[in-house]
Structure formats: structure tokens, C-alpha cells
Chains A and B, each alone.
Chain A
């Protein structure tokens, strides 16, 4: 069974631009969660999508948004990029049952200049 895939793996943008990151979960998984990892703040939850609906949202500004498609693939978008958005963005895939663990993808490293 293929694991979680994220594209692109690396990205360089400039302030004010927008970016879209993609995540494909493990086959059969319907939950996709996004996390931001920075040296200063550690790992922080962005949002979770389940069956195309946002089920939970972290404490991030509205510049951060996401969506999930009918095939469970998810995208997150960050508009009007700021230097502080430079981070590793990790996507996690989970099954329908609450007891299941979450499996992470390799992450997308975003650098904002």
C-alpha cells in the first residue's frame, strides 16, 4: 500500500505571493490533517478534513485555507505569504475509525524570501 505523498517537496516563494500544497492520503483513508513545523513554534495543527468537510481548525489566520476532494486528496493554500510562513508543512492521513493512528507524508519545505 502506498504511503502519504506530498507535492511539491521543496518550494521557494517571495513575500506577497500565494502557494498551494497538495497531499494524497493512503488509499482508503478519508481524513487528512495539516501541520506546520517551525523551529520556534514546533508542530502546530492547521486543519483537518474528513469526507470533504473541514472538521477542525487550528489557530491560524484566514490566509491559510484548505480543501478536500472526493478522492480524499487535499490541498492547502497560503495567500499573501509572509517571511514567518517559512516552515515544513506536513500532511497526515487517517482512517475512518477514531482509534487509528495517523501516518505522515514526507512534508513540503516552504521558504519565503
Chain B
């Protein structure tokens, strides 16, 4: 079974600061993918970044980077130079690399960016 844990229910950050959202996971699958999604109040889940368990380098997508520490089973999301529009719920998720595309989600972190 797979499990995702996000220990920060809410975070408050000043605009332009960097922020790290924590995510730890547990799985018995030999290879897996880790995802981060952003969910604004409108409800749509917006894909941010993906990291494969076999990837040697941490994934980056613009202002988003994923700090992947396989031995510690952590996949933290780092947002650099935060903006007001970054205020939203953020979900960490995972699924096996092979097989059905079933995502397991964490409980999410509500990020609020203050001006």
C-alpha cells in the first residue's frame, strides 16, 4: 500500500520569499512517480512537477523544484520567489510507474502568501 503524509495543514509566507512544502511517502513499489498539484479555490487540480524514483537529479519547473531524498522517503516542493497567485492548496501524490494510473494523495497544505 502507498501512503503520502503532508504534516503542514497551513503555511503563511511573505510575498517574494521562498517556501518549502513537506511531503513524505511510504511504498513497497520498486519504482514510482511523485507529483505535486496546486488546487486554487476554483477546484481545478493543476499539475506542477513530477519526479520519478529512478531520476538522479531533482526535478525543476520554472519557480518550482522538488527536493527528492529517496533514502528519507521525502519529496518536498520548493517554490522560489513566492507570488500572491501562489495562494492555494497544494497536494503531494504518488503512484507506481507501471500499471494503473491510480494516484494516492496526501491531505494537502494550504499556502497563503501575504503581501
Residues of B within 8 A of A103 (CB): 47
B44–A98 CB distance below 8 A = no
Q: What size tier do the contact residues of chain A reach?
A: 20 to 34
B97–A98 CB distance below 8 A = yes
**CB proximity to B under 8 Å, residues A70-113:** 88, 90, 92, 94, 98-99, 101-107, 109
- In angstroms, how far is the closest chain A Cβ from the Cβ of B87? 19
- In angstroms, how far is the closest chain B Cβ from the Cβ of A39? 10
Tell me the bound Cα distance from A92 to B33 in angstroms. Answer: 16
B residues whose Cβ falls under 8 Å from a Cβ of A: 33, 35, 37, 42-47, 50, 52, 91, 93, 97-108
Interchain residue pairs A-B with the least CB separation, the first 4:
A56-B100, A104-B45, A43-B105, A106-B44
A residues whose Cβ falls under 8 Å from a Cβ of B: 31, 33, 35, 42-43, 45, 48, 50, 55-56, 58, 88, 90, 92, 94, 98-99, 101-107, 109
